[in-house]
Structure 1
Amino acid sequence: MTAGPTAIDVRDLTKRFGDTVAVDRVSFDVRRGEIFGFLGPNGAGKTTTVRMLTGIIRPDAGLVRVMGYDIARDPVPAKQQMGVVPETANAYLDLSGRQNMLLAADLYGVPRTRAEGRIAETLAELGLLDRQDHRVHGYSKGMRQRLILGMALLHEPPLLFLDEPTSGLDVQSTHLIITMLQRLNEAGTTIFLTTHNMDEANRLCHRVGIIRRGRIAAIDTPERLKRTIDRIAVILVGFDRRVDTRTLAALPGIAGVTGTDGRCRVSAGDIDTAIQSIVSFARSEGARILSLDTPAPTLDEVFLSITAGDG
C-alpha cells in the first residue's frame, strides 16, 4: 500500500450530548488506498465519530473532509464518494435480493443498463446469485450482511465505511466478506473499518486508531503499536514428557512457569538467559524440546493496555 492523498481528513471534531462530551477535539486522517481500523470500548465515541464522518449527524465543532469535500458544506458530493455498511443489515425483507439491489442502484443514481451488470457481478461474487429472486426475509444473517455490502458497492465508491461487518456471522460469510474487502482494497478502495475483532483488525488494517473517552489514544500500524507494549517476555515451550516446573522456574532468567503435561508457559526476565536455561534443563532431565516459541504481544494486549479501566 502506497500512501497517497487523504481520503478522510478530520480536524478538532467535537460532539456533545447535553453535559456529556462524546467526541472531544478528535483529529486524524485516513490515507487513500489504506484499510484503517477504528477501535474502542463501548461508549468511547466510535459510533458518534462515524456518524459525523458519514454525515448522519452534524458536529458541534471541527471539520470533516471526505475525498476533498467538506461533509457539512457539501454533503451530497461527499456522500456520493462513499458506501456505508452498518452493523445491522437494513435491507427490505419483503423484497428479493435483486429488488433491494435495484433500489440501491436507483438511490445512488446508477443507470439501469449499468446496474443490471453490476448486480449480477456483485451477487455472484458474494455467493448470492442463486438466491437473488428470493425474499430477503428468508436469508440468513450472513446472507443479509453480504447483500448490504453488495448494495453499498453498486456505485463503485472510492471509500467504504463498515461497522462490525462480520460480527456474529458464519464462517462462509465471514470468509466471503474478508476476501472481498481485500480484493477491493487491492483495486484501490479506501476502507474505514470499525470492529471489536482484534484478529480481523490485525490481518486487514494498514493502520488502526484507538479512541478512548472521546479522544484518540493511539494511531499507528498494528506492528508498531504492538512494540509499544512493555511486558515481561513469554516463552512457550513443549517437551516430550512431563517435567518438574518448580525446578524450571528456579533457573536463571526465568521469572515463573505455568503448565502441565510438558507444555509450559515461561515468563522470562531475560529472554536469552531463559532460553539457555530451558535448553540446559531439557538435557539434565533427559527431555526433548518439541517446540519453542516467543510470541509477540497481540493487538488485544495493546487495546487492553490503552483502554484499561474503561467499560
Structure 2
Amino acid sequence: MIPTSGSISVDGFDVIKDFQKTRSMIGLVPQELQLEAFEKVFQNVSYTRGLYGKRANPEIIEKILKDLSLWDKKDNRLRELSGGMKRRALIAKALSHEPQILFLDEPTAGVDINLRRDMWRVVKQLQEKGVTIILTTHYIEEAEAIADRVSVINHGEIILTENKNDLMQKMGHKLLTIELQEKIETIPDSLKNLT
C-alpha cells in the first residue's frame, strides 16, 4: 500500500524505498489467527525467521518457544493446537527474527490468564532489551501495565496521546472489584484495613 501523503521511516529507513530492511525490523502479531495448519510449530517459527533473511538459529527458536510455554508443543502441527496455543504460535513467529519494533493487535483477546501472564512477561523482557512495543488493546489495565505513552483512538482517529502516568493521574482513583465464587460470613483480617 502506497501512502497518499507523508512518509514513515524505521530507524532512518524509508518503509517504501527500503521496504525489505524495514520489514526485517518489524514483527506483527495480528488479531486474527492466521497459521499454516499442517506445519509443525518449530518448523513454522524457524521458516518465518528465514523469510526475514535471518539464518537458522535453533537456540533462539527454542528460547522463544520456552518463553511462551510452547516448547512441549514444538513437534505438533499447528492445527492440533488450542486457540490459546495458536495465539502463542503467532507471537513466536513475530519474535522469530528478533524485531526492533513489535506490533501487537489485541494479543490477549479471548485468551486464558496463563497466556496473558506469559505474554506480558515476554513483553517486559523485550522492553528491557530496547524493543519498541506498539499495542492495541481494549483493556486499560494492559496499557497501564506496559505502556510509556497511551493513545486513545475513537472511530479510527487518534484523539489523545499522552504519557501513561499523566493520563492515569487525570483518570482519577483506581477501583478494585472482587467477585467471590462463594459467600463468606466474615471479612478476613488481612482485608479489613484496605482502603
Q: TM class, shorter-chain normalised?
A: 0.7 to 0.9
| Aligned-pair CA distance for 1:72 | 2.3
Distance 1:140 1:111 in 2: 29
| Aligned-pair CA distance for 1:223 | 2.5
| Aligned-pair CA distance for 1:234 | 9.9
| Aligned-pair CA distance for 1:215 | 3.4
1:211 aligns with 2:146: no
Aligned partner of 2:33: which letter? A
**CA 1:137–1:212: 2 relative to 1, 3 Å:** same
Structure 1: runs of 5 or more not aligned? 1-56, 237-289, 294-311
- Of residues 20, 40, 53, the one that matches 1:96 is 40
Contact 2:105 2:137 in 1 (8 A): yes
Distance 2:156 2:174 in 1: 33
1:158 aligns with 2:86: no
1:132 aligns with 2:59: no
What secondary structure, in the 3-state scheme, does the structure 2 residue paired with 1:216 have? strand
Aligned partner of 2:65: which letter? L
Q: Structure 1, residues 230-282: CA drift from partner, whole Å, max 9, x if none?
A: x8x8999xxxxxxxxxxxxxxxxxxxxxxxxxxxxxxxxxxxxxxxxxxxxxx
What secondary structure, in the 3-state scheme, does the structure 2 residue paired with 1:183 have? helix
**CA 1:224–1:135: 2 relative to 1, 3 Å:** same
Distance 2:39 2:29 in 1: 19
Q: Structure 1, residues 202-245: CA drift from partner, whole Å, max 9, x if none?
A: 1111111112344321111222123445x8x8999xxxxxxxxx
1:117 aligns with 2:67: no
**CA 1:90–1:213: 2 relative to 1, 3 Å:** closer
Q: Structure 1, residues 78-108: CA drift from partner, whole Å, max 9, x if none?
A: 1111111111222211111012112202211
Distance 1:66 1:234 in 2: 36
Contact 1:98 1:119 in 2 (8 A): yes
Aligned partner of 2:12: which letter? G
Contact 2:150 2:161 in 1 (8 A): yes
Distance 1:68 1:213 in 2: 30
Distance 1:214 1:90 in 2: 24
- Of residues 84, 103, 107, the one that matches 2:28 is 84
Per the normalisation by structure 1, the TM-score is 0.54
Cα RMSD over matched residues?
2.2
By percentage of residues, which structure has more strand? Answer: 1
- Of residues 76, 87, 93, the one that matches 1:145 is 87
By percentage of residues, which structure has more helix? Answer: 2
Contact 1:209 1:216 in 2 (8 A): yes
Misfit runs of 4+, over 4 Å: 233-236
Distance 1:154 1:130 in 2: 17
1:190 aligns with 2:132: yes
Structure 2: runs of 5 or more not aligned? 177-191
Contact 1:235 1:292 in 2 (8 A): no
Distance 1:106 1:235 in 2: 47
Distance 2:65 2:174 in 1: 46
In the other structure, the counterpart of 2:115 is 173
